[in-house]
Amino acid sequence: MNQYFHYQQDQLFAENVALADIAEKFGTPCYVYSRAALTDAYRQFADALKAREHLICFSVKSNSNLAILNLFARLGAGFDIVSGGELQRVLAAGGDAGKVVFSGVGKTESEMRLALEANILCFNVESAAELDRLNEVAASMGKVAAISFRVNPDVDAKTHPYISTGLKQNKFGVAYADAMALYRKAAGMAHLRVTGMDCHIGSQLTETSPFIAAAEKVLVLVDQLASEGIKLEHLDLGGGLGIRYDDETPPSIADYAQALLGALRGRSEKLIVEPGRVLVGNAGVLLTRVEYLKPGAEKHFAIVDAAMNDLMRPALYDAYHAILPVQREPSPRSSDETTDEASSHLAKLQKLQQAIGYSHSTKHDKAVQVAGYPASGRGGEREKQPQIYEVVGPICETGDFLGHGREMALDQGSLLALMSAGAYGMSMSSNYNTRPRAAEVMVDGVSAHLIRERETVRQLFAGEKIIA
């Protein structure tokens, strides 16, 4: 939890709105974001880098909702995109094309044309073949494309192999040994203008040393280029700063920024960074409801209405997300207070039973349980006992899980919040098993705004045709 998602009287809130109220109004599964958390994270970045000319390009792939993009645009952000679709989202959200950098290994001709028409800031070129294609497309349009090369520094990011991008065996970027020759070639191409150098070594990094190692390696190339008369205007050090999902201890935004600024001390290039997860990850949760509690021979299952199509990270990366009850068990009160209050309610219940002629007892009867109070004669035991659950979805895949071995006291219908779900949640969701994608809600103080309607099944096959 954090200051934006917290308990008030045992109810989990987003800012000043109860998540139970959001579930009641908008249904589940549902993504919920805190506007204050998004704003504060961006401002921390901006404040930490203010000593140097910089541009913060939000990584659109981490969360591409228009309301979130619009919020960052109004805060002054640029955007890191990896597709023509993401560019169109940025423009629809009010983003400035002149603050957009276009990354990705597979840019199509149509995507290049779209970006050139929009006059984006820079293409991060990732291969010699892409370089040739971009020059040809720009020539056909009578334009000059600003470029940098994404250089692969062969630095181990010490993260999950699926999100490590800076090793020489990865598909991303150009090889470090090939970079100088490619820059020389690009400098002589009529419809390209060399403006910068880019590197991005991975995601969910929890220490600063890999960032510094990568920066130091690419700066050697920057200086070699300058000695040959190819002076760069900016240095794009990518993104990748991690967040806390479980027990990780990532550096703060301030410490990360200070490490980068230290590596660039005395240099004139403009700094570009591409944060994604660190801006949105802990600003969002996924609300879900327990459909069934299913005892098993070896494990107990809590089957919820969210699934791997809603949040892919656990199934794809075996990633951990904390799972919290939206209504937690009440905090323990004094034994005298609890006993007196429970006795009062029990007396009222027994009086009512007598009035309606209720009479039933056997030697096997358990003590009467008054909802919300300890059972009489049971040592304070509650009806709803903690159990270790596999939290799983309804999709027909064994890998459809959201959490392993979670100890919780649950009932059918209990609401749960999967924490730290603001990054690579909705943006990686799918319609597998013909499941409509979740609604998205942004909380702003005491208000909750629907920023994406829940899909309908009819929308899923609206574009399909049956042939005779």
Q: Which residues are known to be catalytic?
A: 396
Helical (H) or strand (E) element with 345: helix 335-355
Contacts of 423 by beta carbon, 8 Å cutoff, 6+ apart:
62, 63, 243, 276, 277, 280, 281, 284
CB 61 within 8 A of CB 86: yes
Query: How far is residue 69's CA from residue 58's CA, in Å, rounded to a whole number?
Result: 8
Alpha helices in 177-208 (DSSP H): 179-187
**Which residues sit opposite 38 in a β-bridge?**
none
DSSP string, 362-386: -TTPPPPPPTTSPPTTTTT--SS--
Place of tokens 């040739």: 132
Among 257, 240, 80, 253, smallest CA distance to 160 is for 240
Q: Count other C-beta atoms under 10 Å from residue 337's C-beta.
A: 9
CB 373 within 8 A of CB 342: yes
**Which residues sit opposite 388 in a β-bridge?**
407
CB 112 within 8 A of CB 161: no
Contacts of 36 by beta carbon, 8 Å cutoff, 6+ apart:
4, 15, 444, 445
CB 264 within 8 A of CB 382: no
Residue 307: both structure tokens together: 């699934």
